[in-house]
Chain A
Amino acid sequence: MKKLNEMREVMVAGIGLVQWGFYPELEHYDFGSEAVFNALKDADMEWKDMQAAFLGSVYQGTGSGHQVIKEIGQTGIPIVNVENACSSGSSAFRLAYQMVATEIYDIAIAVGMEKMPRGPIPSTAFRPWELQSGFNVQMANYANETVEYMHETGATVEDFARVTVKNRKNGAMNPNARFQKPVTLEEVMASRMVATPLRLFHCCPLADGAAAAILCSKDKLKSLKRSVTVVASVLTSGVYGEGMMMGGTMPSVKYPAEVGIVELSAQQAYELSGYGPEDMDVIQAYDTMASAELWDIEKLGFCKKGEAFKLLRDGVFNIDGKMPVNTDGGLMSRGHPLGATGLGQICEIVNQLRGEAGERQVKGAKIGLAHAMGAGPNSSVTIMKK
């Protein structure tokens, strides 16, 4: 079995984003196609150059990707729709990456798009009886895991509020974010309780949105200068024994998991890329809830369990800190169009590595990591370098 890092080098030639927000009058194929147009322009390529397309979404139904491409052109290329909950976008990216790495295609496009149903996520990643029991409230599932995390580490709800404050401050510098106004600690702590102990501003907002990335072999690039190399694109699924309430799984007492799903995906990404957490200049951690960003940072290997909230307080995760996390505001500011989120994270890493992140720019960013995970459960890690 060959490893992907022994195969052809794959570059990101272009990225495309739209502003994420609330678009009742638009359909997913409206902003999905706009993201594609933006990526083609960014890559200086034409639609007819694309040889395969992978489009990730969760709630857009049959042929969701085909609907997008119907707005762009019909060249007969293979289109595959990808549903992997919140890792749909990054899973689409991974498929496009693998197609180019294995020399099946020279140019492939990955798109993520979502027009969110209104109100709390009506996740069907649960059995019917679980849905009827009300176990599908992701904020409550994260809240349950937050309760355990607080007991184990001493992190407080104020610490989680600090994550929101950091990310909303970064989001204010992101013209594509749904929310571009900072919030104060007081505002977070005064927001209404959603599922104890998490308040509204501890939870990422929903959003409609899309993002796209074009992957190609080095010889197909129009601009080597603005390209970025993919050095790892990893996907894992549930590991026996690990509790994952957002995936409807209880931990096994008799056979606990030795390595959790997130740690497993991170380890594989570090092994494939040859880089470790200490090499990352810029990070996209998974902040569906403010508390989740902290344990995500720990599980990805950036610090020990229980250390993250202290490092946060010390400013280590700020843009000018040693380990900048969610420089574009994360899910907290961008919002969370499920199918697009993974690609939204990847786009920010690309912006940073290109030196094109404007006032959000991390000085000298050369290597970046993006982590998304979703109900399933699934966990996807992407590492790119300049």
Chain B
Amino acid sequence: MTDTVKKKIPLKEGFWKISSEADGKPQLIGSKCKSCGEVFFPKKEKNWCIHCNKTDLEEITLSRKGKIVTFSVVLQQPGGGFYKGDVPYSYGCVKLDDGLIIETLFSADDLDSLKVGMDVELVIEKLYQDEDGNEVETFKFQPLS
């Protein structure tokens, strides 16, 4: 019998993890330079700090919450055919509680309800469904309920 249950595939491996330490909630994975203290997201694949150029990076998890710095609601299909998610959609920047600013998609029932300065939290959600019926997931931030 064919297994028809859809698989959930992350957009890219290593962006987030789900562990019991965080009550089973997702956490983004970044890199921290032990030499200069700079933090990067996504985590660096190579052990090289682009700020101080030392080779002393460690893997860390990032705050789950933050505030919206900017956002824009996109009303047309992005060019090139790379993006397969819904349109309209919204993306922008979030400043996490631990101080790092990251670029992210936003998730909201009403995209027009998003506001600069709004408190948001990390979720893992479907980005699109591929030809095989698998769900490609990615990280987004949504307004605190």
Contact = CB atoms under 8 A, between A and B. Distances in A.
Contact of A131 (B50, B74, B75, B82): B82
B71 A144 contact: yes
B95 interface: yes
Interface of B: 11-12, 15, 36-39, 42, 50-51, 69-85, 89, 91-93, 95, 99-103, 105, 116, 127, 136, 138
21 contacts: A120-B76, A122-B81, A122-B82, A132-B83, A132-B84, A133-B85, A134-B89, A135-B91, A136-B83, A137-B78, A140-B91, A151-B116, A192-B75, A196-B73, A245-B103, A248-B103, A250-B93, A250-B102, A250-B103, A252-B38, A253-B100
A119 B79 CA distance: 6
B14 to A, nearest CB: 11
Contacts of A196: 72-73, 75
A120 B51 contact: no
A30 interface: no
A151 B91 CA distance: 18
Contacts of A103: none
Nearest to B92: A144
A193 interface: yes
Interface in A220-270: 240-241, 243, 245, 248, 250-255
Contact of A135 (B69, B100, B103, B116): B103
Interface string A178-202: 0000000000000011111110000
Contacts of A255: 36, 38, 51
A133 B105 contact: yes
A75 interface: no
A123 B92 CA distance: 17
A133 B91 contact: yes
Contacts of A253: 95, 99-101
B11 A129 contact: yes
Nearest to B41: A250
Nearest to B39: A254
A193 B85 CA distance: 19
Contacts of B91: 133-135, 140, 144
Interface in A73-128: 117, 119-124, 128
Contacts of A193: 75
Interface in A141-157: 143-145, 147-148, 151
Contacts of B69: 148
B83 to A, nearest CB: 4
A304 B100 CA distance: 28
Nearest to A118: B79
